[in-house]
Structure 1
């Protein structure tokens, strides 16, 4: 049986968005980030849709 934990974070709490070859990082503090591995996206279009959505919601840019 897999256990998981779910947290809800308001978009306003995201202070920085970074993109690497391996993940999308959503920083909520200088040393705290939500890490979304690239492998979760079915293709680059899906990753782009998410990053565009996040940029719009947070008023941040990559």
Structure 2
């Protein structure tokens, strides 16, 4: 998957422009930089791993939660 395909499949570019997150004159590299900066990513392809740890099952026992 190319960078362009990845960005278009994960982000609603028109809506991000409408809300002011992106500028209409931005090229693909500028869009990538803006998204990576916002999420603190080194690569746009790392976006799929945001919160990936939360998708793992949580194991808890009676001592995990307190009544406080």
TM bucket, shorter chain? 0.3 to 0.5
After TM superposition, the score normalised by the length of structure 2 is: 0.33
User: Whose helix fraction is larger, Structure 1's or Structure 2's?
Assistant: 2
Higher relative contact order (CA 8 A, sep 6+): 1
